[in-house]
């Protein structure tokens, strides 16, 4: 069987591949498909893990079930695994993450990236991020709920559109005033437009809802530092490190704390 790279192999073929029973041209076809298909790679990885944990060959399981059960199993795999995975892969928010972040504050839903200030005269070169923002704008226009507005605001912060982000996150907070993520991201946007007192307040509101929410703790410490409240900022950075003591965000927190302790 020749498996084209743009066509999913049959479940039997993937099972045989996991067991090491696929050879020749069929093996070449499956491996070529797996090189370009994250969905099938996930299925193969899960099947291999199942076989290791249960010590039951997939071929033995396959022989014990009738062909209609194979079709049903394939349908279940599609609904439970492939459809959600495809949605995640096509979510424009997945293209918002950049190699650097445009603001000093910490937003939710994005991984750590070092801060690099954007020059006002620099061209916007990351077209993938800008395209993602445009798609998120369309989603928010179609369904103006708090989560869509929050995601749009975070994306706009990622590309340096601070005022627009602030407006969308303020709207999200009006719709979901008790959502710690929304309040924390609004605090990040407020600091980015120079509203440090408001940023500190909304970060504190987020922490009142969830005292362990690290992004809000980071933003509150940063806001207090910008407000020149040195004792409170030192205590806030120490609090942050008690919540998140490893990784890039923690390293930045230690630098802030070290600078404050010098004075």
Which domains occur in the chain, in start order?
11-90 (no CATH), 94-262 (1.25.40.10)
pLDDT at 198 over 50: yes
Confidence at residue 249, expressed as pLDDT on a 0 to 100 scale = 97
Residues 6+ apart with CB under 8 A from 12: 62, 70
What is the band of 153 on the pLDDT scale with cuts at 50, 70, 90?
A: very high
**Contact predicate 190/166, CB 8 Å:** yes
Alpha-carbon distance values, 244 to 54, 107, 223, 231 (Å): 36, 15, 18, 20
State the Cα angle at 103 between 217 and 185, rounded to 5°: 45
What pairs with residue 101 in β-bridges?
115
Confidence at residue 23, expressed as pLDDT on a 0 to 100 scale = 72
Confidence at residue 64, expressed as pLDDT on a 0 to 100 scale = 42
Per-residue pLDDT tens digits for 47-104? 555 444 444 444 443 444 444 444 555 555 544 544 444 444 568 898 898 889 999 9
Please give the average per-residue pLDDT across 233-254, as a whole number: 97
Confidence at residue 127, expressed as pLDDT on a 0 to 100 scale = 75
Per-residue pLDDT tens digits for 4-38? 445 677 766 766 666 566 677 777 777 777 767 77
Higher pLDDT, 39 or 108: 108
* CA separation for the pair 31, 250 (Å, rounded): 40
What is the band of 45 on the pLDDT scale with cuts at 50, 70, 90?
A: low
* CA separation for the pair 172, 169 (Å, rounded): 5
What pairs with residue 115 in β-bridges?
101
| Dihedral sign of CA atoms 100, 104, 108, 111 in order | positive
Average pLDDT, the chain: 81
* CA separation for the pair 173, 183 (Å, rounded): 6
Q: Which two tokens stand for residue 42?
A: 């996930």
**Contact predicate 226/191, CB 8 Å:** yes
Residues 21-32, buried b or exposed e (16+ Cβ, 10 A)? ebeeebeebbee
* CA separation for the pair 234, 213 (Å, rounded): 18
Alpha-carbon distance values, 218 to 45, 82, 179, 204, 237 (Å): 36, 36, 17, 10, 7
Confidence at residue 10, expressed as pLDDT on a 0 to 100 scale = 73
| Dihedral sign of CA atoms 103, 172, 218, 262 in order | positive
pLDDT at 261 over 80: yes
pLDDT above 90 as % of the chain: 54
């Amino acid at each position: 069987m020749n498996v084209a790279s743009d066509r999913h192999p049959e479940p039997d073929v993937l099972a045989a591949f996991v067991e090491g029973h696929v050879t020749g041209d069929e093996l070449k076809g499956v491996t070529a498909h797996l090189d370009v298909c994250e969905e099938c790679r996930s299925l193969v990885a899960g099947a291999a893990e199942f076989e290791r944990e249960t010590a039951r060959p997939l071929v033995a399981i396959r022989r014990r079930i009738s062909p209609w059960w194979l079709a049903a199993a394939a349908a279940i795999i599609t609904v439970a695994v492939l459809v959600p995975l495809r949605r995640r892969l096509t979510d424009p928010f997945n293209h918002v993450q950049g190699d650097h972040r445009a603001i000093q504050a910490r937003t939710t839903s994005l991984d750590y990236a070092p801060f690099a200030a954007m020059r006002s005269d620099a061209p916007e070169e990351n077209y993938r991020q800008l395209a993602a923002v445009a798609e998120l704008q369309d989603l928010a226009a179609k369904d103006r709920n708090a989560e869509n507005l929050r995601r749009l605001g975070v994306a706009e912060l990622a590309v340096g559109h601070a005022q627009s982000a602030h407006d969308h996150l303020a709207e999200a907070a009006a719709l979901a005033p008790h959502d710690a993520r929304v309040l924390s991201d609004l605090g990040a946007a407020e600091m980015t437009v120079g509203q440090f007192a408001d940023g500190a307040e909304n970060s504190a509101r987020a922490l009142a809802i969830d005292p362990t929410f690290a992004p809000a703790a980071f933003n509150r410490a940063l806001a207090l530092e910008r407000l020149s409240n040195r004792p409170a900022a030192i205590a806030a950075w120490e609090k942050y490190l008690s919540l998140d003591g490893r990784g890039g965000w923690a390293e930045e927190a230690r630098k802030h704390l070290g600078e404050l302790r010098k004075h």
